[in-house]
Amino acid sequence: MKKDGTKTLTRIDLANEIIKEFQVTKFNALDIVEEVLEKITTALAEEGSVKISCFGTFIVRDKKERMGRNPKTLKAAVISSRKSLSFRASSMLKKVINTK
């Protein structure tokens, strides 16, 4: 648990929930978690978005090169183009979050 009272959900936590629900071995549960995360990662790299029904959508966005500034030195610098990942929560997820 972090100082602010929040908890990070880890791969082990996910695997433990799979073990409880489906009575599989820890090895198999970890393999399932890794496989799901690999499928999501591959789909994002190839397709650019992943929609998980009742949860939300992950979208890869292209950021253009732009001018920025070093906050310490205030010297102008070029920020190179890159890809970023954004998440848009589904209305169902928002509803669950707002009722707790």
Residue 79 pLDDT > 80, yes or no?
A: yes
- Crossing angle of helices 11-22/26-47, nearest 10°? 120
- pLDDT (tens digit per residue) in 9-52: 999 999 999 999 999 999 999 999 999 999 999 999 999 999 99
pTM above 0.85, yes or no: no
Instruction: Name residue, tokens 């629900």.
Output: 21
Residue 74 pLDDT > 90, yes or no?
A: yes
Give residue 94's Cα distance to chain centre.
16
Q: What is the CATH number of domain 48-100?
A: 4.10.520.10
pLDDT average, residue stretch 46-71: 95
What pLDDT score was predicted for residue 1? Answer: 63
Q: Which helix (H) or strand (E) holds 88?
A: strand 82-89
Q: What are phi and psi of 22, to 5 degrees?
A: -115, 0
Enumerate the domain spans of the chain: 7-47, 48-100
